[in-house]
Structure 1
Amino acid sequence: MAAIEPIDIVELGVADAPAGLVLSTEAGWNQNEADWRFFLSHGIVFGVRDGDRLVASAALLPYWAGNAWISMVLVTPDFRRRGIATKLVDACLDVAKRRGLTAWLDATPAGATVYGPLGFEPTLQLRRLRLEKPQGANATRPLSAGNLDALATRDSRAMGFDRSTLLSAFVARPGSRIVSDERAMALIRDGRAARHIGPLLADRADQALGLVEAIVGSESGPWLIDAVHAQDAFLEGLVRAGWNIERPFQRMRFGAATALPAQLPFAVAGPEFG
């Protein structure tokens, strides 16, 4: 197909989850089908098709207090550089504007150059780190089961708005668990290719690092974590422990901030969820 003129944008449904997974897997992302089903059932997901094939997507996931997350902006390689991603993000922004929502996203460096001219402003930065873990790891210290209500409360303070619906959906999945260790708490869940740690909340960097150490010692990897760059002691501790930085993300906001976080997390739920 030589060109798409005009681009026919459609709204996707839950039945499109397998097709969305093909797109994110092709890009090497860690989302699984359960992630796609959450976006498609709780958010607004736009796409572009070439016949029966889904070739592009973008999602808007509304949260509480007038906030929403834009993510899953994907275009299959042979349809790139045609303005499709920009048009899909514009479709998400149109919905956000009509609903009076402040839109957020976590952009790759290349994406940030696209979103800046659209009106997105940079906020904090993230670093995605990966740890390969051999089978048969032994736990360094016992982990206590965490409480969903307590996690949702701390997450709300860290984000500035409530995400209990998202966290509840994560916890309900097979393989997910909330763990705590002294003053630190985190959610662990399955991804397509690696286990993911986040959000991770703690009072101090040493508490956050101790919890990560206990987590990776309690089961085999590989692991992914999206650390807040401003938590430099935590980030440096992860690198010393053998985690490798894979890529940066720039958090960006379109619209006025509705609330300020009371305390930054040490790691987030993921660039697709905030």
Structure 2
Amino acid sequence: MADFDGLQQVTLAPGDEDEAMELSREVGWNQVPGDWRHFIEKGQTLGLRDRSGRLVATSAALPYDGPFGFISMVIVSDTMRRRGLATALVGKCTGYLRQLGLVPVLDATEQGQPVYEKQGFLPQFRYDRWQIAGHGPAPADAAVSSAGPRDIARLDAAAFGAQRPALLKAFLSRPDTVVITEGTSGFALLRRGSRAWQAGPVVSDSEDAALRLLERLPIGAVPLFIDVPQTWRKIGAWLKARGFAVQRSFARMGYHRQEPFGTPDRLFATAGPEFG
């Protein structure tokens, strides 16, 4: 049972993203204020405040247009851990998505996977976060070429398993987002994070085609994260040869569902563990 003694549960509202960013920084995550703003405006983002009013824990449930929604941003300040708060917050997000008729899905670290399994989540596939320090200049933005925003949304939905046009629109509207396309069959995004640039999603019709997209990104020129399903060993070897190393691994997990959504053989990098 969670120990909520002295804590007040709140629903975060626009304007709370700066406080939420303080928690992201405390745990060393890569979000920017616009990410938090998206959770707050498009989903249900819960917070716990201590007696002083300080935000000490968060969780977010983001419904997608499809059979599932995503749970993420489960952060507990160091001074509040080991009280069952994270488990309780995940439970609240799970209940929220189920009330909407959606299957709750989340991405778990290796340490978190056993905890989520006890809550009814089953592993669907694993992916590795590759990282490189990079010391080059920030990449210039690249215009969408032969694939437009609608094509990108269509390709993403087919690979991911649900439509998320609002999220993609938010990514594409950022002035420093890099967009690489290959005809109308594949795309790769690169966006700025607080600690590193994030590559993904990367969607294509083959691993070789996905590699062609990656070769056109400024891979290795800037601090960069990319989250690649473990099945894509050619991409892993390509990243390793360019100086990347695996930071950690994640498991995509579904609530009482082990079969992945979408078309996993077209998904070559995820949008990150906060968005799926």
Q: TM-score, normalised by structure 1?
A: 0.90
Q: Tell me the alpha carbon deviations over residues 17-71 of structure 1, each in whole angstroms, 9 at most, x when there is no partner.
A: 0111000111000001010000001010111111221000000000012311000
**C-alpha separation in 1, matches of 2:253 and 2:139:** 39
**C-alpha separation in 2, matches of 1:271 and 1:58:** 13
Go from structure 1 to structure 2 and tell me whether the alpha carbon gap of 1:138 and 1:61 turns closer, same or farther (over 3 Å shift). Answer: closer
Do the aligned residues in 2 keep the contact of 1:144 with 1:181 (CA within 8 Å)?
Answer: no
Go from structure 1 to structure 2 and tell me whether the alpha carbon gap of 1:137 and 1:207 turns closer, same or farther (over 3 Å shift). Answer: farther
Go from structure 1 to structure 2 and tell me whether the alpha carbon gap of 1:238 and 1:15 turns closer, same or farther (over 3 Å shift). Answer: same
Question: Structure 1 stretches of 5 or more lacking a match?
Answer: none
Go from structure 1 to structure 2 and tell me whether the alpha carbon gap of 1:7 and 1:152 turns closer, same or farther (over 3 Å shift). Answer: same
Between stretches 14-23 and 125-134, larger displacement belongs to: 125-134
Aligned residues: CA RMSD? 2.4
Go from structure 1 to structure 2 and tell me whether the alpha carbon gap of 1:137 and 1:80 turns closer, same or farther (over 3 Å shift). Answer: closer
Go from structure 1 to structure 2 and tell me whether the alpha carbon gap of 1:259 and 1:233 turns closer, same or farther (over 3 Å shift). Answer: closer
Do the aligned residues in 2 keep the contact of 1:106 with 1:250 (CA within 8 Å)?
Answer: yes
Q: Specify the SS of the correspondent of 2:82.
A: coil
**C-alpha separation in 2, matches of 1:16 and 1:138:** 30
Per-residue deviation at 1:173?
A: 1.4
**C-alpha separation in 1, matches of 2:41 and 2:262:** 27
- State the partner residue of 2:117: 116
Go from structure 1 to structure 2 and tell me whether the alpha carbon gap of 1:103 and 1:137 turns closer, same or farther (over 3 Å shift). Answer: closer
Q: Tell me the alpha carbon deviations over residues 190-229 of structure 1, each in whole angstroms, 9 at most, x when there is no partner.
A: 1111111100012222322232222116x94111111111
Q: Tell me the alpha carbon deviations over residues 209-268 of structure 1, each in whole angstroms, 9 at most, x when there is no partner.
A: 232222116x94111111111122212221122111100001100145898423331001
Q: Specify the SS of the correspondent of 1:157.
A: helix
- State the partner residue of 1:97: 98
Question: Structure 2 stretches of 5 or more lacking a match?
Answer: none
The one-letter code of the counterpart of 1:157 is: A
- State the partner residue of 1:160: 161
Q: Tell me the alpha carbon deviations over residues 50-97 of structure 1, each in whole angstroms, 9 at most, x when there is no partner.
A: 122100000000001231100000001010000000111111111112
Do the aligned residues in 1 keep the contact of 2:131 with 2:223 (CA within 8 Å)?
Answer: yes
Per-residue deviation at 1:110?
A: 1.3
Pairs within 5 Å for 1:187-202: 187-202=189-204
The one-letter code of the counterpart of 1:210 is: R
The one-letter code of the counterpart of 2:132 is: L
**C-alpha separation in 2, matches of 1:240 and 1:143:** 28
**C-alpha separation in 2, matches of 1:210 and 1:132:** 22
| Identical positions, percent | 36
